[in-house]
């Protein structure tokens, strides 16, 4: 069986965080050693807006500065999956005006050319323009076709309509809920749904992903290694991603 080398990650900034770049480089190293293909499992069903925070260093002073997407409304920001968080008009150009202080002119120009109108697509297109996805097959947790192929799980979220938007509601105790923060939840009215609307929780994600991807090797960072349920996929060889400094900051080196 030819190796299938996989790594997973939410869209993690319009310039990807350095730990994602390290996963790409680890996957390329493994492929050079053993052959096979590389699969990026993009968990664009995640809804946490903090995932796309992008921390850059000022090119002259070295001072860290964090940017993020703007969102069309509060419901989208808090509850919509990343593939359904729409980017307001003007955000790209306003952000591009700030970037020359932080990144190489080539990346400013690449950023200006991205036409995607939702957060997940914007991140993915930027990663492609940076060359990070060359030779990598991307599969997305938000893809209805992928969801229909995936195994049944009992710990999951459901994409449902709410106040004119698509939101990611947690299925819990027979009900769909939105987490407002702390101990506060909004319980949604019952609605019919099918597999094309379901995405996994953190604990069920590996089993769900593997039922379709069928990888032989999975690359993970230290945090991910701590919660992965390896018993759900004993056939996988788990690999620590290669180390990288300032792992939570944005990767934007010239010549990537």
pLDDT tens sequence across 97-149: 999 999 999 999 999 999 999 999 999 999 999 999 999 999 999 999 999 99
> According to the model, what pLDDT value does residue 23 have?
98
N- to C-terminal Cα separation, the chain: 31
Pairing of strands 165-172, 175-181: antiparallel
The helix/strand/coil state of 236 is: coil
- pLDDT of 226 strictly over 50: yes
The helix/strand/coil state of 195 is: helix
Domain boundaries, the chain: 4-152+203-240
Please give the CATH number for the structural domain made up of 4-152+203-240.
3.40.50
- pLDDT of 256 strictly over 70: no
Exposure of 158 in the CB half-sphere (CA atoms within 13 A): 22
């Amino acid at each position: 069986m030819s190796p299938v080398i996989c790594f997973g990650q939410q869209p993690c900034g319009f310039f990807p965080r350095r730990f994602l770049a390290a996963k790409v480089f680890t996957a390329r190293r493994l492929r050079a050693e053993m052959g096979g293909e590389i699969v990026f499992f993009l968990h664009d069903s995640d809804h946490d807006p903090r995932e796309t925070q992008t921390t850059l260093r000022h090119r002259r002073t070295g001072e860290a500065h964090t940017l993020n997407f703007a969102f069309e409304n509060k419901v989208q920001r808090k509850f919509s999956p990343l593939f359904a968080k729409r980017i307001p008009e003007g955000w790209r150009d306003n952000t591009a005006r700030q970037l020359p202080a932080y990144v190489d002119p080539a990346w400013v120009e690449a950023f200006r050319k991205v036409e995607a109108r939702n957060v997940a697509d914007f991140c993915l297109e930027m990663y492609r323009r940076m060359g990070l996805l060359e030779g990598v097959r991307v599969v997305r947790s938000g893809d209805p076709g992928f969801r229909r192929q995936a195994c049944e799980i009992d710990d999951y979220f459901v994409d449902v309509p709410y106040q004119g938007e698509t939101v990611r509601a947690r299925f819990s105790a027979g009900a769909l809920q939105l987490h407002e923060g702390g101990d506060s939840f909004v319980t949604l009215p019952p609605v019919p749904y099918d597999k094309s609307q379901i995405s996994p929780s953190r604990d069920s994600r590996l089993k769900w992903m593997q039922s379709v991807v069928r990888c032989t090797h999975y690359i993970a960072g230290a945090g991910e290694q701590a919660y992965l349920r390896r018993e759900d996929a004993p056939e996988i060889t788990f690999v620590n991603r290669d180390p990288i400094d300032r792992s939570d900051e944005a990767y934007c080196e010239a010549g990537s």
